[in-house]
Amino acid sequence: MIFALIGNQNCGKTTLFNQLTGSSQHVGNFPGVTVEKKEGTILRHKDASVVDLPGIYSLSPYTAEEVVTRDFLLDGGVDAVINIVDATNIERNLYLTLQLIELQLPMVIALNMMDEVRSAGTYIDIDKLSEALDVPVVPVSASKNEGVSELITVLSDIGKTGKRPRKTDFCEGPVHTAIHSVAHLVEENARKTGVPLRFAATKVVDGDKYMIQRLALNDSQLDIVGHIVDEMESALKTDREAALADMRYDYIEKLCSSFVRKHGDGETKEQKRSAKMDTVLTSKYFGIPIFLGIMFLIFWLTFGVIGTPLSDLLASGIDALSKLCEEAMTSWGVNAAVKSLVINGIFVGVGSVLSFLPIIITLFFFLSILEDSGYMARIAFIMDKLLRKIGLSGRSFVPMLIGFGCSVPAIMSARTLSSTRDRRMTILLVPFMSCSAKLPIYALFTAVFFPDNAPFVMICLYVGGIIMGILSALIFKNTVFRGKPVPFVMELPAYRFPSAKNVILHMWEKAKDFLVKAFTIIFVANIVIWFLQSFDTGFNLVQGQDSMLASIGRFVSVVFRPLGFGDWRAATALITGLSAKETVISTLAILTGSASASQPLLQTVFVSTASVVSFLTFTLLYMPCVASFSAMRREMGKTRYAVYAMCYYTTLAWIVAFIVYRIALLF
């Protein structure tokens, strides 16, 4: 049995998925966390699996993730549907429910957040609601694991009986007439294509191009449909989309008036608390200063108080372990080449990257708290007005925010944007947000060259990337992406106290990604770098200056001499950074023979502070890693778009680094 888990954005789908399957998928308190379908086996039911689909508001798809959900329901071999409904906002959530019922698939409704409903004094008559919809309704609180076992029992029954909703007609008047007239007209087409008749008829009345094409309606049928729709619109004095929406909401209003009784205004404690907090946190005057203050505090704690001391402690431990291994291999008489590989290639290379793990964990601890509390969604709301000035809406801020973690999921999350223009433009701006892979580079250079002003320099780098993204957006807006952004509509979730489990899970995900990359991509890259740095073209063991890598680096370094860092080691580090940005640090560590790379960097690779600033600027802006390139190529649909983007990033990085270097020399 395959159960499709479907619901509105931010209604608790992924939390319920984790409870049903025992998985540990990332949960966020803002819309659009799930952009791909995820699958897991239901606990103690090995023959039943659940597919967590992206959150949607309707089966009339406008965005890429809504298309994923619709196509999976129609073509994915789904046996039954779990429709998760946010009980605190039941009226809006039931809109999707009525559309799902039209699909005539076995279905169960999981009425989520019932703990908050009860605390607000609201009563929902579960039995009567279930009877009216002819669908089993199970009250649950996914975050507290309440009602989940009962839901699994109902799912098991649904799987055995295959009971489908018998009631699919929720309309009356002109809409009723139109849908039933079209149903008679397309009945044969729907049967041939395997689309439920009621769903097909409603979509045709709605003017859904995909469904009209799928049903292969001929000109005569389309002409008749046009007349039917015209009559409906004339009778109701509105357009087809509004007529169908009004029909569903009228029915939902009748349902809720009969089976939902609210105490007072019906708002939960969380909603009331959120409204009070938003008067300050989303204020026209205080919203952005508060956000900047919070981010400064996070950077100060990460790079000045907590993360850096822990990173130094780990680096000391790695150095001590490296010395023990070196002494052991010396006493055993290990071959010089093997000894060099282990110490200089692995310990120095991988160890130099691993030492920054505490900084990454600390940063994402604070960011996870902001996300889990619901504050991140407010930032998108606050930024909407500013983003519109550069041709985007506040919804684009979410992928950019994710980009501070990793560009790959950030690029994928742009699927939540409804227009192709907004989606592509947002994807192009994501790499300007400094991902966590650049953190080790920033942390090392600020610790070595700007130890007294590390938090300030960090903020300058992050803000610098954002400023260049803004300038690029203004260029795109007036050239390749002319037009206006789509209207911004985003649900603001209620503020909630961060869950320790979710925060720890998010931190573990980032730590795991970092460790996996360190012992796979970076490990392999370091072996290759060590080999090229240790041997010449005749495969003789040589010093660094005579190696194959030095020859390659000297050839490439000519490009970087005008930027102030013409040393072949700096050029080589930038090239290896294309595999993973952390490799920049491990490469410099190998080439300078120091895990910390502090004194050798200061004395030999970078001749002045101006060259350091130029190098950091270039690192900030030049093309992202190959994984990001691959994601960009896939999401934008054409390889040439991704190639153009990489050329743009690198050219821009060179120009800006050149300007920054010349200005820095003046000081």
* For residue 584, pLDDT beyond 60: yes
Distance separating alpha carbons of residues 433 and 401, to the nearest angstrom:
8
Cβ(260)–Cβ(117) below 8 Å: no
Number of residues that make up the chain: 667
Domain 173-261 has CATH 1.10.287.1770: yes
Mean pLDDT of 494-505: 80
pLDDT tens per residue across span 640-649? 899 999 999 9
Mean pLDDT of 78-91: 90
* For residue 68, pLDDT beyond 70: yes
Q: Provide the pairing of β-strand 2-7 with 49-52.
A: parallel
* For residue 371, pLDDT beyond 50: yes
* For residue 178, pLDDT beyond 90: yes
User: In 3D, which of 142, 153, 198 has the Cα closest to residue 25?
Assistant: 142
Mean pLDDT of 230-242: 91
* For residue 511, pLDDT beyond 70: yes
pLDDT tens per residue across span 318-357? 888 888 988 888 888 888 788 878 877 778 777 777 877 8
Distance separating alpha carbons of residues 222 and 466, to the nearest angstrom:
50
What's the token pair of residue 356? 């920054």
Cβ(156)–Cβ(45) below 8 Å: yes
| 3 state SS of 478 | coil
Q: Amino acid identity of 460?
A: C
Indicate the range of 117-121, 149-153, 404-408, 663-667 predicted with least confidence.
404-408
- Exposure string of 434-465, with b = 16+ CB inside 10 Å and e = fewer, is bbbbbbbbbbbbbbbbbeeebbbbbbbbbebb
Could you give the angle at which helices 568-576 and 609-621 cross, rounded to 10 degrees? 20
Q: How many helices (H) and strands (E) does the chain have?
A: 32, 8
* For residue 248, pLDDT beyond 50: yes
Mean pLDDT of 447-475: 87
Could you give the angle at which helices 219-236 and 173-193 cross, rounded to 10 degrees? 160
Cβ(395)–Cβ(490) below 8 Å: yes
Distance separating alpha carbons of residues 216 and 194, to the nearest angstrom:
13
* For residue 597, pLDDT beyond 70: no
Distance separating alpha carbons of residues 278 and 283, to the nearest angstrom:
7
Position 64 scores a pLDDT of: 67
CA distances to 356, 370, 456 from 300, in Å: 16, 16, 8
pLDDT band at 95 (very low <50, low <70, confident <90, very high): very high
Distance separating alpha carbons of residues 383 and 392, to the nearest angstrom:
10
Find the DSSP H helices in 76-145: 90-101, 114-119, 126-133
More confident residue, 627 or 215: 215
In degrees rounded to 5, what are phi and psi of residue 606?
-115, 120
Mean pLDDT of 452-471: 88
Position 661 scores a pLDDT of: 94
Please, how many CA atoms are within 13 Å of residue 264, restricted to the half-sphere of its CB?
Answer: 10
Position 21 scores a pLDDT of: 86
* For residue 224, pLDDT beyond 90: yes
Position 30 scores a pLDDT of: 45
Q: Please report, in angstroms and rounded to a whole number, the separation of the first and last CA atoms in the chain.
A: 69
Residues 6+ apart with CB under 8 A from 261: 122, 123, 124
pLDDT band at 595 (very low <50, low <70, confident <90, very high): low
* For residue 107, pLDDT beyond 90: yes
Cβ(302)–Cβ(311) below 8 Å: no
* For residue 588, pLDDT beyond 80: yes
DSSP-assigned states of every residue in 501-546: HHHHHHHHHHHHHHHHHHTTHHHHHHHHHHHHHHB-TT--B--GGG
Please, how many CA atoms are within 13 Å of residue 345, restricted to the half-sphere of its CB?
Answer: 19
CA distances to 14, 39, 163 from 23, in Å: 9, 10, 28
Most confident by average pLDDT, 20-34, 301-315, 318-332: 318-332
User: In 3D, which of 504, 554, 545, 517 has the Cα closest to residue 364?
Assistant: 504
Distance separating alpha carbons of residues 478 and 432, to the nearest angstrom:
19
- Exposure string of 221-259, with b = 16+ CB inside 10 Å and e = fewer, is beeebeebbeebbeebeeebeebbbebbeebbeebbeeb
What's the token pair of residue 335? 């071959």
What's the token pair of residue 299? 């950077």
Per-domain residue ranges of the chain: 2-161, 173-261, 290-485+502-666
Distance separating alpha carbons of residues 416 and 398, to the nearest angstrom:
9
Sign of the torsion angle spanned by Cα atoms 403, 406, 412, 413: negative
Residues 6+ apart with CB under 8 A from 656: 468, 617, 618, 621
Instruction: Say whether 173-261 and 2-161 share the same fold.
Output: no
More confident residue, 295 or 157: 157
Residues 6+ apart with CB under 8 A from 486: 393, 417, 418, 419, 422
Sign of the torsion angle spanned by Cα atoms 339, 341, 345, 350: negative
Position 562 scores a pLDDT of: 93
What's the token pair of residue 464? 């610098």
Cβ(59)–Cβ(70) below 8 Å: yes
Burial (CB < 10 A; 0-12, 13-18, 19+), residue 664, is middle
Superfamily classification of domain 2-161: P-loop containing nucleotide triphosphate hydrolases (3.40.50.300)
pLDDT band at 618 (very low <50, low <70, confident <90, very high): very high
* For residue 103, pLDDT beyond 50: yes
User: In 3D, which of 461, 294, 412 has the Cα closest to residue 469?
Assistant: 461
Residues 6+ apart with CB under 8 A from 201: 179, 180, 182, 183, 186, 190
pLDDT tens per residue across span 139-158? 999 888 899 999 999 988 88
Q: Please, which residues bridge with residue 50 across strands? A: 3, 40
pLDDT band at 608 (very low <50, low <70, confident <90, very high): confident
What's the token pair of residue 115? 């703990």
pLDDT band at 76 (very low <50, low <70, confident <90, very high): low
Q: Amino acid identity of 487?
A: P
pLDDT tens per residue across span 530-553? 788 788 777 777 776 778 888 888
* For residue 85, pLDDT beyond 90: yes
Position 96 scores a pLDDT of: 92
Position 29 scores a pLDDT of: 44
pLDDT tens per residue across span 517-531? 777 777 887 788 878
Q: Amino acid identity of 391?
A: G
